[in-house]
Amino acid sequence: MTLGPLMLDVAGTELTDDDRHRLAHPLVGGVILFSRNYRDPAQLAALTADIHALKSAPLLIGVDHEGGRVQRFREGFTRLPPMRSFGEIWNEHPPRARELARETGFVLASELRAHGIDFSFAPVLDLDYGASSVIGDRAFHADPHAVFQLGQAVMLGMRDAGMAACGKHFPGHGFVVADSHVAIPVDQRTLADMAIADLVPFRLMIEAGLAAVMPAHVIYPQVDDRPAGFSKVWLQKLLRHQLGFDGAIFSDDLCMEGAAVAGGMVERVAASLDAGCDMALVCNRPDLADEVLANLKVDWPAPARARLARMHGHPHPPTLVQLRESARYVNALHHLAGLGQDSADLNLQVDPTDYCGRA
């Protein structure tokens, strides 16, 4: 049995009969977890074990767990700073910023792996233009080379813990003001403008071995009239062929308003897969997920299945007890102590979780 091309969510802290029936469908290959799916560490470990046991080829389990205001699991997990914190340190001491970013990536990934999570949709590689409220302090910096250096450090820390990274939101969401959760953002810049700015971190991260990418629900009309996640120009011509990316491509949540240009949910999923996404996300709308499962007809190529298989976390992660006895983990926590706590605490009020859309 192989993974299917859909990533769905589940209702609560334990699998319901409806969840089990839905996830057993051959079109389903992954599960995304939200804050509502977390009560405590033991519950989360039990939930992920149940999900992985549903199929002989275990479903992928992903989560938006970046730090700052986008951290789905809080109590019992290390409070991670927003990524802008590392950009601020970079301005004064780049080597220190890289070191702290790598340690953060390790803590982020090792804690998730200890609870059965395969990967996080992180890091954010958008540039901080100071315009986008939905990106904001999730971005490292305005300088594309700083974004690459810090994003690579987080990716390496995640890799140290046995987790693949997923860079988002290709080819760049930071320039537009509109929030693609509730609108259809349009970025009027030319490809040449983007090539010397927003595309730089993605290009360099791909060269450094980035495992996965998530495209933006943004239209760049100077390049294509479709949002990037539905665009063969962006995903196949530019990402696959010109940038040489051979990793997995995950759509952003197709329930978001920015995806509405593609039609109904079945049409959105079909369009995203046809454009070049390997896995399509349908979040927080089980009724629409059921509609897709009942009606989607897709010829899903073997290379897509192989790329997704590489997103599984390394086998046999340490338990939480073993992790807390690890010198690397303890030292990383020591380095991160107090970093960005004020920002993270403020952001507790702005965690965009359980609605029809993702961060």
113 is in an annotated binding site: no
**Which of 80, 40, 75 is CA-nearest to residue 347?**
80
* Residue of 252, 253, 278, 312 marked catalytic: 252
φ and ψ at residue 102, rounded to 5 degrees: -65, -40
Average pLDDT, the chain: 91
How far is residue 172's CA from residue 10's CA, in Å, rounded to a whole number? 29
> Which of 173-182, 220-229, 252-261, 333-342 is most confident?
220-229
Q: Does 252 participate in catalysis according to the annotation?
A: yes
* Residue of 181, 217, 253, 312 marked catalytic: 181
55 is in an annotated binding site: no
pLDDT confidence band for 133 (50 / 70 / 90): confident
- The model's pTM is 0.93
Q: Does 193 participate in catalysis according to the annotation?
A: no
| pLDDT over threshold 50, residue 345 | no
φ and ψ at residue 350, rounded to 5 degrees: -130, 40
287 is in an annotated binding site: no
pLDDT at 350: 36
How far is residue 190's CA from residue 260's CA, in Å, rounded to a whole number? 24
141 is in an annotated binding site: no
64 is in an annotated binding site: yes
Residue percentage of the chain with pLDDT more than 70: 92
Q: Domain 6-346 is of which CATH architecture?
A: Alpha-Beta Barrel (3.20)
Q: Per-residue pLDDT tens for 113-127?
A: 999 999 999 999 999
CA distances from 322 to 80, 110, 295, 328 (A): 21, 11, 45, 11
